[in-house]
Amino acid sequence: MNPPSEKPIPEARTISEARATPEARAIPEARAILEARDLRYSYPGADDVAALHNAHRLRALDGVSLALRPGARVALLGANGSGKSTLLLHLNGTLRPAGGAVLHEGAPIEYSKRGLIALRRRVALVFQDSDDQLFAGTLAQDVSFGPMNLGLPAGEIASRVAGSLAAVGLEKLGALPLHMLSHGQRKRAAIAGALAMRPRVLLLDEPTAGLDPEGVNGLLDQLDRLSAQGIAILFSTHHVELARMWADEAVIMSGGRILAHESGAMIFSNDALLQKARLRLAPCRRAPPPDTHA
């Protein structure tokens, strides 16, 4: 990997005063735990749409390769329609590529029921809309769903539920009905459900969408703690500043292709690259503390 650019990073901490900048953390070199190799995929009907408009064939993914290593902190950046969500759906086996392969711990994933269950125990995906994942009566019941399906003993299920809720700061809300949770709490509840499976890779699709600045900061603090446990984290976003403040690595997507995968310092100092991907660096500021004297 090339050395970081000499262009200085602003000193302001607009996401979290205590969070280290990417330059302060070394990117570990280790064997990839999850890897995409030359993925190609078109959604059903894409050829018909292209023919109708006399356009080139529309590929959602067009030769995408990506490797995630244990403990990685990676931001997947791109404008709407760049292929970010499609890539995430391939990495957890929801979609099957027309070409190329996804490898888990060095072996191609199996698309049988048994193979996908095994994969999703280690590679968890949290959707952008938490309502797509939350369905049980209470928070604790929802988090327990995955471990119950694994046939684990009751004691182990209870332990996993308690640990997962504590990991996202919801340990006191397990008995609450899901509809009583705030938007930010529902986001964290979906992450807790994923953590209950004890994954080694956590994929998040636009995890900060709809959150206010304090909600964003709280979520990233939770991701800090998970990363410290060795969980590889890949989250998609189009907010460049947010990614700059948290990720060690950044992947830029455009038109179903990866334009660059480098250290954060390399990516975020390359204005031409960001413009090509229709991205821009803009502040994502924390909300001021509440006025306790009002």
At 172, is the pLDDT very low, low, confident or very high (cuts 50, 70, 90)? very high
Q: Could you tell me which of 52, 97, 120, 67 has the C-alpha nearest to residue 232?
A: 67
193: in domain: yes
Domain that holds residue 192: 72-95+122-276
Please tell me the least confidently modeled range out of 48-62, 142-156, 234-248.
48-62
At 156, is the pLDDT very low, low, confident or very high (cuts 50, 70, 90)? very high
Q: What is the mean pLDDT of the chain?
A: 83
Domain of 77: which CATH number?
Answer: 3.40.50.300
106: in domain: no
* pLDDT at 10 exceeding the cut of 70: no
pLDDT (tens digit per residue) in 179-219: 999 888 888 899 999 999 999 999 999 988 888 888 888 88
35: in domain: no
111: in domain: no
141: in domain: yes
pLDDT at 142: 93
pLDDT (tens digit per residue) in 247-294: 999 999 999 999 999 998 889 889 999 999 989 765 545 444 555 454
Q: Give the DSSP letter string of the chain.
A: -PPPPSSPPPS--SS-TTSPPGGGSPPP----SEEEEEEEE--TTHHHHHHHTT-----SEEEEEEEE-TT-EEEEE--TTSSHHHHHHHHTTSS--SEEEEEETTEEPP-SHHHHHHHHHHEEEE-SSGGGT--SSBHHHHHHHHHHHTT--HHHHHHHHHHHHHHTT-TT-TTSBGGGS-HHHHHHHHHHHHHTT--SEEEEESTTTT--HHHHHHHHHHHHHHHHTT-EEEEEES-HHHHHHH-SEEEEEETTEEEEEEEHHHHHT-HHHHHHTT------PPPPPP-TT-
At 82, is the pLDDT very low, low, confident or very high (cuts 50, 70, 90)? very high
109: in domain: no
33: in domain: no
4: in domain: no
At 129, is the pLDDT very low, low, confident or very high (cuts 50, 70, 90)? confident
pLDDT at 67: 95
Looking at the 3D structure of the chain, how many domains does it have? 1
